[in-house]
Amino acid sequence: MLYPLFFKPISKERLWGGEKLISYLEKPFKGEGIGESWELSAVSGDESVVSNGVLEGKQLKELIETYKADLLGKSVYDRFGDDFPILIKYIDAQKDLSVQLHPNDQLAKERHNSFGKNEMWYIMNADAGAKLITGFSKNIDQNEYQQYLENDQIESLIHYETVNSGDTFFIRTGTVHAIGAGILLAEIQQTSDVTYRIFDWNRKDKDGNTRELHTALALDAIDFSKRDDHKVKYDQKPNHRNAMVNSSYFKTDIIPLEGEVSINMDQLDSFVVLMAVDGDNEIIVDNNTYQLPFGSTVLLPACLSSFTIQANHSKVLMITI
């Protein structure tokens, strides 16, 4: 019998990483410059491992191969087979990330045998004045873009957006983007680790080397249009599922909790991922209670009939396919 599954977070040191994943989210990491906590991953070489119950020690891919639609949902398993379709992270940017983009499904498949990478950001904490880069500040074409790049003027072409806690963004494939310094966020994305870096602030790593840029690969992948729909508008009705992102890749709702909410899973035909992005929570499944503290993540298998979340003054992201 499947049950709510917790996984050991995977730490990722990054040039731009900080200490908030340890100090703020209380992740069990050691070291400095930890930029990412991979909460739920089936990326080859970085497979999540169960940390609770009788399945402790099992990898996510093993579970999918064993339980198939019972874990993922019939429609999800029919579509993706043994491939887990999303990657769940918490990200701490102490410094600016590089300006980058991700290829769409077609290009990613052709070049890297990978999914594309549409992604969503939920800002959990932001220093005063912290900013994201979301696309270009004007419509351009490939030739104009290359001129900006050759003249080292890319900074004047990109759109900056000041952010606050609770702000949410959906970043489509092809969109140039970057997480700015002083931002802690939850990220939901397609399962992909393919990134095309186009500008890295001319900085060098600890060995005095600049990081690789992917200028040529990026040209065919970039969306050169100016878009004003990256930021997501959503309601925050207490004790309800409020829709945030509804895409063909994943769906995310936010549940502001002031008491309890019960969710019937029979009609979802999908697994559920819950991310505790503000406050501590409890989940009740089959009369068993599980703690979902701030900064944690849980996978609820599709075969569960229902679950209840209870908390006061908390917010939970609910992700399905």
Q: Count of domains in the chain? A: 2
- Radius of gyration of the chain, Cα coordinates, nearest whole angstrom: 20
Residues 295 and 169 in one domain: no
What's the whole-number average pLDDT of the chain?
96
Provide the domain limits for residue 284: 242-320
pLDDT tens per residue across span 160-194: 999 999 999 999 999 999 999 999 999 999 999 89
Q: For residues 268 and 73, give the distance between their C-alpha atoms in angstroms, rounded to a whole number.
A: 8
Is residue 224 in some structural domain? no
pLDDT tens per residue across span 257-312: 999 999 999 989 999 999 999 999 999 999 999 999 999 999 999 999 999 999 99
Residues 139 and 276 in one domain: no
Residues 37 and 104 in one domain: yes
With CA atoms as reference, report the closest residue to 91 among 119, 50, 112, 61: 119
Is residue 94 in some structural domain? yes
Question: Please, what sign has the CA dihedral across residues 71, 75, 76, 81?
Answer: positive
Q: What is the CATH number of the domain that holds 250?
A: 2.60.120.10
Is residue 236 in some structural domain? no
Is residue 2 in some structural domain? no
Q: Assign 208 a pLDDT band (cuts: 50, 70, 90).
A: confident
DSSP letters for 159-201: EEEE--TT-EEEE-TT--EEEPTTEEEEEEEES----EEEE-T
Residues 58 and 138 in one domain: yes
Residues 150 and 295 in one domain: no
% of the chain exceeding 90 in pLDDT: 93
Instruction: Judge whether residue 60 has pLDDT over 80.
Output: yes
Residues 303 and 194 in one domain: no
Residues 177 and 73 in one domain: yes
Residues 161 and 96 in one domain: yes
Question: Please, what sign has the CA dihedral across residues 180, 297, 304, 45?
Answer: positive
Question: Which of 14, 111, 197, 241 is flagged as catalytic?
Answer: 197
Is residue 68 in some structural domain? yes
Residues 86 and 167 in one domain: yes
Q: 185, 219, 253: which is the final residue of a domain?
A: 219
Residues 133 and 265 in one domain: no
pLDDT at 283: 98
Residues 292 and 160 in one domain: no
Give catalytic status of residue 227 as yes or no. Answer: no
Q: Assign 204 a pLDDT band (cuts: 50, 70, 90).
A: confident
Residues 254 and 215 in one domain: no
